Amino acid sequence: EVQLVESGGVVVQPGGSLRLSCAASGFSFDDYTMHWVRQRPGKGLEWVSLISWDGDTTHYRDSVKGRFTISRDNRKNSLFLQMNSLRSEDTALYYCAKDWGLTRYCFDKWGLGTLVTVSS
């Protein structure tokens, strides 16, 4: 069974940094593109970033470019999101999502999310 378990979400001050992790199991992690998608409290879904299976290709939404860095460790079946210069608008539940791989950027499995709160 595919499992994605996010961790690392905490309360952090504006301007602070945080590293989110996602532990994957139940599938061949190194075969798939992975994504981070966030959801602000009570709001809709917002794609954040993706990384290709080999880590060579990454993409970010404009509002996090230069502040967030996505990475992966295929030996440890883990996905990461390094978040720097955090802003109040980054407060959200951050989901790790697996790309289905059979169509273009479609998320077939999601974790339960980890909550990031940016507040002084």
Partner 1 sequence: EIVMTQTPLSLSVTPGQPASISCKSTHSLLHSEGKTYLYWYLQKPGQPPQLLIYEVSNRFPGVSDRFSGSGSGTDFTLKISRVEAEDGGVYYCMQSIQLPPTFGGGTKVEIK
Instruction: Give residues in contact with partner 1 (CB under 8 A).
Output: 44-47, 59, 61-62, 95, 100, 102-108, 110-113
CB-nearer residue toward partner 1: 10 or 106: 106
CB of 113 to partner 1, least distance (A): 6
Q: How far is the CB of 93 from partner 1 (least distance, A)?
A: 9
Tell me the DSSP string of 87-116.
-GGG-EEEEEEEE-SSSSS-EEEE---EEE
Of 82, 65, 67, give the one whose Cα is nearest residue 21: 82
Is the CB of 2 or the CB of 13 nearer to partner 1? 2
> Closest distance between partner 1 and the C-beta of residue 61, in Å?
5
Q: Are 29 and 98 in contact (CB under 8 A)?
A: no
Residue 29 or 107 with smaller CB distance to partner 1: 107
Least distance between partner 1 and beta carbon 120 (Å)? 28
Cα 98 to Cα 2, 79, 82, 111, 118: the distances in Å are 9, 10, 18, 9, 26
